[in-house]
């Protein structure tokens, strides 16, 4: 509903003129669009699922529980840059953990809970910047392997930002405070 600033009467959101006084409402609609906050990645629907920018739930559901684990991103190393790794490595980012699967016939799976992630960075050489790939470095409080690498990831800057945001949301959801040693 859009309210006329002159007479205060309510109008339909798609109305061009006020029903009561006839005032043009284009500027009011633009001001209302600017005043409404955009969807953030930590907004949830009634079922407790994370919402994307378009308002739809993020990713496919893994556990079937409302508000449960959902896949945010799936990826592999670049086939152009490292064809062998592209066959043997798979990465999944959910809203709760990062899953890395290695192997072609035999399989090894490593997981990092996102609330343990402390730092995320990207390393790119000049050719990788031109092609649009890079290595994502993850520093975590995981005791088995505190440093993880996602090698030759396409659109690595966006994936780094996505990983960082999902880790922040998971820490907030679990109410985990990060304590830094001084």
Evaluate whether residue 41 is within a structural domain: no
Same domain, 77 and 17: no
Evaluate whether residue 63 is within a structural domain: no
Report yes or no: 37 and 30 within 8 Å, Cβ to Cβ. Answer: no
Report yes or no: 134 and 121 within 8 Å, Cβ to Cβ. Answer: no
Instruction: Classify 125 as helix, strand or coil.
Output: coil
Q: State phi, psi for 167 to the nearest 5 degrees.
A: -65, -40
Evaluate whether residue 116 is within a structural domain: yes
Q: How far apart are CA 182 and CA 178, in angstroms?
A: 13
Q: How large a percentage of the chain has pLDDT more than 70?
A: 77
Check pLDDT > 60 for residue 34.
Answer: no
More confident residue, 18 or 103: 103
Q: How far apart are CA 67 and CA 161, in angstroms?
A: 22
Same domain, 163 and 103: yes
Same domain, 75 and 30: no
The HSE-up count of residue 57 (CA atoms within 13 Å, CB side) is 17
Containing domain of residue 78, as a range?
A: 71-174
Evaluate whether residue 180 is within a structural domain: no
Specify the number of domains making up the chain. 2
Same domain, 83 and 29: no
Condensed to tens digits (0 to 9), the pLDDT of residues 129-160 reads 998 899 999 999 888 888 999 999 998 999 99
Give residue 169's pLDDT: 87
Evaluate whether residue 144 is within a structural domain: yes
Evaluate whether residue 115 is within a structural domain: yes
Same domain, 28 and 80: no
């Amino acid at each position: 509903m859009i309210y006329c600033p002159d007479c205060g009467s309510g109008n339909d959101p798609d109305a061009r003129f006020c029903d009561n006084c006839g005032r043009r409402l284009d500027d009011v609609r633009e001001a209302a669009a600017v005043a409404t906050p955009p969807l953030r990645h930590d907004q949830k629907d009634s079922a407790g699922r994370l919402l994307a920018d378009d308002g739809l739930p993020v990713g496919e559901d893994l556990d079937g529980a409302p508000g449960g684990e959902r896949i945010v991103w799936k990826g592999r190393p670049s086939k152009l840059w490292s064809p062998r790794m592209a066959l043997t490595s798979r990465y999944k980012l959910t809203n709760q953990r990062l899953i890395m699967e290695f192997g072609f016939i035999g399989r090894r799976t490593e997981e990092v809970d996102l609330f343990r992630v402390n730092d995320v960075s990207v390393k790119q050489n000049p050719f990788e910047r031109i092609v649009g790939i890079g290595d994502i470095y993850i520093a975590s409080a995981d005791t088995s392997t505190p440093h993880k690498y996602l090698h030759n990831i396409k659109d690595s800057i966006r994936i780094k930002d996505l990983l960082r945001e999902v880790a922040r949301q998971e820490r907030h959801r679990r109410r985990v405070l990060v304590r830094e040693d001084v």
